[in-house]
Amino acid sequence: MTSPPKTSSNQPQAATPKAANSAALPPKAPAAAGKSGKSKKAKPYAIGPTPDDVCGSAADKPEPRGPQAPRITPDQRFTALAHNQQLYQVALAVLPEKHDGSNGRPPGFPPYVYLIFAASISIFGSARSTQAHLRRSLYREYLKQGVTECLGPQEADRLPDTGPTSSQWYYYRLKMLGVLSGLREASRDARIAQAFGVGLLGTAGPRGTWIRPNRSQVIHGDGTVMKPTDQTEPVTVDEETGEIRNHYVDPDASIQTEGGGRQVYGSKYLTIVTRLARMPHSRMILNIDAVRHRAKPLDPEKFNEAAAAVKMAMEVLAAAPGIKAVTYDTALRGVHSAPFIRQGGVVFTRRHDGIKPHEVAECSDGKCTHSLYAAAGRVCERRITVEGNTLYSPLPVREFEVRGNGKVRFYHVIEIPCSSGEHTMRIRVYATEEDREIGAGGQGGKFNRTEHLRQVPPETPAGRRLLGFRQDSKSTNSRLDQAFPHERLPAYGSKAGLLIVIGFAWAQNALTHLLHRLTK
């Protein structure tokens, strides 16, 4: 163990936060009566300052802000939807055109009209409002112009002189739910192809590095709970009159906890999105699915949020190898990040509270010995200060190495300051078989390396930059909530809700695609 560094007036002391701030802050008032007055237990160690390294410097300028997004009217959104070539291709390839049997109501409209109807619900707020708009001559003309451009004038002449009713929509929706899995996958592939067309996913435009990827090379995931109707009980009894009322209740909704501990009643949906840097209305939704939020026996067809996030991100990565990074919230733990890292991606999440420092290696050349620990998401040197406190001093990362083609391996080449000369050491930041078997340092138990050591440490300029990119997911969820009155999804059941969310993605991506065509 090296001797602790000498303290001076221009070097911060390694005291606990309480001791360091006691002289600058006024004394606290005594606890109010009836309260225990207990404070949060201080950590038995301190983390040193973040050094300047390949992850950025404190002097780095923040990312420049992009231009303000212009207002988009419902007419523009519907026009973009009606002129989206990929939408017609998916509808004609996946959706049934006629009734399955000899009996039953005929569809009345081609299948692409009902996919446009599903997407328009997020534009107009409900099926009844969509019916009212599509029965107007203005929107029928928008639709006819789109069909003429994408399928030809003869197909446009086949369209009826009126728009579909909500009754026709609900009847055909049952057939759409029967092929929902195929519709989700075909829509995902079409959206990824559209993303390539506008310069996303690393195929065109500027390319970044692993530490600082271009925004178009980063995908962002997030889950959101969509609220159904406000009825949670199938039968209610009026306490005054004794009247018994039956209600239609969402069979898949339940009370769930979102970020910040807020409880929400509904079903959860997960989206994977990306966007161009400093380009308004350039967001593209790449992948969507409903995720499990109840016990597995009650909902065996779905994955839980973390497992679904990995599956969906891997689906996008398989189709778009130019992706360099994925960002997510703390629902994604180290064990979930490992598969994506093995395929050559950087995973960025915030660090979980309560993760204790863990020994990862020891550097010794006979003259000195340095104990290296994983703390604050990066490699730190453990020291004991003159006050007898434990200090984990972050070590600068001088190089971020990427090796391999099939299974990619990531390393931090760290620098260890020492009075006898600086040392360098290569530390793995990907999960290994050794970690799963014996643990680091020869200790028993497993070592969750990707949980303790992050490829891009959160408390760095590069980490804060990637954290800012996650606002795309939040904006997507906010836009999804605001698309419907009272932020309630107009559907019962997670499958019907997923169909509406798939339509929302078509409307969002069609707008991005059209605006890109107009600006070329």
Task: Extract the runs of DSSP E, i.e. beta strands, from 250-396.
Answer: 254-257, 263-274, 284-290, 325-327, 346-348, 358-364, 369-375, 378-384, 390-394
Asked if residue 141 and residue 122 are part of one domain, the reply reads: yes
Asked if residue 311 and residue 171 are part of one domain, the reply reads: no
Q: What is the pLDDT of residues 251-279, one digit of tens each?
A: 888 888 776 778 888 899 999 999 998 88
- Give the burial class of 348: count Cβ atoms within 10 A of its Cβ; 0-12 exposed, 13-18 middle, 19 or more buried: buried
18 in a domain, yes or no? Answer: no
Better-scored residue on pLDDT, 257 or 6: 257
Asked if residue 413 and residue 317 are part of one domain, the reply reads: no
Residue 348, C-beta contacts closer than 8 angstroms, at least 6 positions apart: 325, 326, 327, 328, 454, 455, 456, 458, 463, 466, 467
Asked if residue 200 and residue 174 are part of one domain, the reply reads: no
Tell me which amino acid residue 456 is: V
Domain count, the chain: 3
Range of the domain at 344: 188-230+247-351+462-498
- Give the burial class of 77: count Cβ atoms within 10 A of its Cβ; 0-12 exposed, 13-18 middle, 19 or more buried: buried
338 in a domain, yes or no? Answer: yes
Q: What is the pLDDT of residues 328-359, one digit of tens each?
A: 998 888 888 888 898 889 999 988 877 889 99
Backbone angles phi, psi at 285, to 5 degrees: -90, 120
Asked if residue 297 and residue 195 are part of one domain, the reply reads: yes
218-226/325-327 β-pairing: parallel
Asked if residue 140 and residue 206 are part of one domain, the reply reads: no
Q: How far apart are CA 445 and CA 179, in angstroms?
A: 46
**Under 8 Å between Cβ of 326 and 345:** yes
223 in a domain, yes or no? Answer: yes
64 in a domain, yes or no? Answer: no
Residue among 322, 292, 319, 294 at smallest CA distance from 305: 292
Q: What is the pLDDT of residues 128-166, one digit of tens each?
A: 999 999 999 999 999 999 999 999 999 999 999 999 999
Asked if residue 322 and residue 411 are part of one domain, the reply reads: no
Residue 287, C-beta contacts closer than 8 angstroms, at least 6 positions apart: 188, 191, 271, 272, 312, 313, 315, 316
Last residue of a domain, one of 426, 453, 480: 453
Please say if the pLDDT value at position 21 is more than 60: no
Residue 5, C-beta contacts closer than 8 angstroms, at least 6 positions apart: 11, 383
Asked if residue 260 and residue 122 are part of one domain, the reply reads: no
Q: How far apart are CA 324 and CA 400, in angstroms?
A: 14
* Alpha-carbon distances of 301 from 100, 411, 495, rounded to whole Å: 25, 37, 11
> What pLDDT is attached to residue 275?
92
Query: What is the distance, to the nearest Å, from the Cα of residue 64 to the centroid of all Cα atoms in its chain?
Result: 22
Residue among 65, 325, 328, 322 at smallest CA distance from 199: 322
Backbone angles phi, psi at 184, to 5 degrees: -65, -45
At 246, which helix (H) or strand (E)? strand 244-246
> What pLDDT is attached to residue 107?
81
Asked if residue 293 and residue 216 are part of one domain, the reply reads: yes
Asked if residue 146 and residue 287 are part of one domain, the reply reads: no
> What pLDDT is attached to residue 42?
66
Q: How far apart are CA 195 and CA 216, in angstroms?
A: 9
Q: What is the pLDDT of residues 271-329, one digit of tens each?
A: 999 999 888 899 999 999 999 877 788 888 888 889 999 999 999 999 998 899 999 99
Asked if residue 270 and residue 396 are part of one domain, the reply reads: no
36 in a domain, yes or no? Answer: no
Is the model's pTM score more than 0.75? Answer: yes
19 in a domain, yes or no? Answer: no
> What pLDDT is attached to residue 120?
97
Tell me which amino acid residue 174 is: L
371 in a domain, yes or no? Answer: yes
Asked if residue 173 and residue 205 are part of one domain, the reply reads: no
315 in a domain, yes or no? Answer: yes
